[in-house]
Amino acid sequence: MSSPSTPMPHSVTRRGPPPACSTSSLTVGRLSRTAGRRLSAPVGCVGQARRLERDIPSRHVRAWSARPRSRLTTQLKGEEMKLATFEHDGEILHGVIEGDRIAVAGPGDLRAVIEGAPLERTGQVISVDAVRILAPLTNPGKVVAVAANYQEHVIEGGDRPREKSTATPRLFLKPDTTVVGDDAEVEIASITTQLDWEAELAVVVGHLAKDVSETEALNFVFGYSTSNDISARNLVTGAARDGEAATDFFDWLAGKWLDGSAPFGPYVVTTDEILDPQKLAITLTVNGEPKQLGNTADMIHSVAEIISFTSRLMTLRPGDIILTGTPAGVGMATGTYLNPGDVVVAEIEGLGALTSRIVAPRNRG
């Protein structure tokens, strides 16, 4: 375990218009404590100073949403904002990732920061190798997910392409017990023999949102992260299936609810670093073998459209997570499923790599 190094300067608030953003290409890396893996390289976008406004009553949401956004303050000019939750010496903390170190910002996960608390460094800096990275939100609010949001994924599942003019986002919810962090073990539950992967862009809601327009929707985002909507493609219930459409649907839905089936992380990148969430490459490998290669540009419903539609159905709160769908390349298309010992790495451009380690069902007798 490494000792804390030289204290870092506290947060600095900058006022005035945000600086221009670099057009240099984004690079992707991965965060882990194991040798041979690294933190993601700089995304090339100059950090913009923005403060995080606190929640306001829902009756004021529409009026507020038309105002110019202000957002979380960056620490220093030009610095990326990669915010992580981690465990160190038995304590859960949150902080800012800087290369192979984490500048501690306070106790607990990122919820308080997302809800409006200031992000201020304590002066303590810890090596990444000395901590266990957790999900950015260890106890999130709602986890909303979107099905069939990439045409090629729809087609590989045997369905006809969706006609967007008559389509709306297909939403479903995942329990909070599905959320785990980077490098977590994901158990193949005894109720399934077909566990599958789905790399997805995760959106972290930063403000109370109800009935927001598509043009305003991205104002309500705190940041983005990498996720994997791990899915059971069959259920071993001991009961014969009747073949009815409703039974098939609810079996599919229940297959989204397994414990640990929403890995999320390794960190959250604030919105000032991701200028366009519709221009991000998505990849996934199993044991190093490429399985998925897509881009958020291929979404049927954009992030803004998903947020707007969702907010018409339910109130979105700070700390809610939205999983935005997966591109083609899932195991179901080829009848290939996860086995104990498999290592799954989902990676999104500028957001880092998320590792999941598949393990056999545990004996709870």
Give the model confidence (pLDDT) of 12-49 as tens digits: 333 333 333 333 333 333 343 333 333 333 333 333 33
- Average pLDDT, rounded, for the chain: 83
What mean pLDDT do residues 248-270 have? Answer: 98
pLDDT at 365: 66
Q: Is residue 44 part of a domain?
A: no
Q: Is residue 104 part of a domain?
A: no
What mean pLDDT do residues 274-279 have? Answer: 96
Tell me the C-alpha distance between 98 and 96, whole Å.
6
> Which 8-state DSSP code applies to residue 316?
B
- pTM of the complete model: 0.81
Amino acid present at 109:
D
Determine the structural domain holding residue 264 and report its residue range: 143-359
Confidence of residue 363 (pLDDT cuts 50, 70, 90): confident
The pairing of beta strand 199-205 with beta strand 352-359: unpaired
3-state secondary structure of 130: helix
What mean pLDDT do residues 217-243 have? Answer: 96
Beta strand ranges found along 162-297 (DSSP E) = 170-174, 179-180, 184-187, 195-196, 199-205, 221-228, 231-232, 262-270, 281-286, 289-295
Question: What Cα–Cα distance (Å) separates residue 116 from each residue in 47, 48, 132, 271?
Answer: 19, 17, 25, 15
What mean pLDDT do residues 220-226 have? Answer: 98
Q: Is residue 36 part of a domain?
A: no
> CA torsion, points 323, 324, 328, 330, in degrees to nearest 10?
10
Percent of the chain with pLDDT over 90: 76
Tell me the C-alpha distance between 343 and 81, whole Å.
28
What mean pLDDT do residues 264-289 have? Answer: 97
Give the model confidence (pLDDT) of 311-333 as tens digits: 999 999 999 999 999 999 999 99
Q: Is residue 137 part of a domain?
A: no
Which residues have C-beta within 8 Å of that of residue 18, sequence separation ≥ 6?
A: 48, 49, 50, 272
What tokens does 205 get? Answer: 């809601």
Q: Is residue 334 part of a domain?
A: yes
Which residues have C-beta within 8 Å of that of residue 243, sequence separation ≥ 6?
A: none
pLDDT at 364: 73
CATH number of the domain encompassing residue 227 = 3.90.850.10
Confidence of residue 197 (pLDDT cuts 50, 70, 90): very high
Give the model confidence (pLDDT) of 70-115 as tens digits: 344 333 344 559 999 999 999 999 999 999 999 999 999 999 999 9
What mean pLDDT do residues 218-236 have? Answer: 98
Tell me the C-alpha distance between 125 and 73, whole Å.
19
Residue 282 has pLDDT above 80, yes or no: yes
Cis previous bond, 361, omega within 30: no
pLDDT at 206: 98
Where helices occur in 19-145 by DSSP H, the ranges are 61-65, 111-115
pLDDT at 149: 98
CB 153 within 8 A of CB 330: yes
pLDDT at 310: 98
Q: Is residue 209 part of a domain?
A: yes
Looking at the structure of the chain, the number of domains it has is: 1
pLDDT at 269: 98
Residue 53 has pLDDT above 80, yes or no: no
Question: Of 150, 346, 145, 193, which is closest to residue 263 (Cα–Cα)?
Answer: 346
Q: Is residue 147 part of a domain?
A: yes
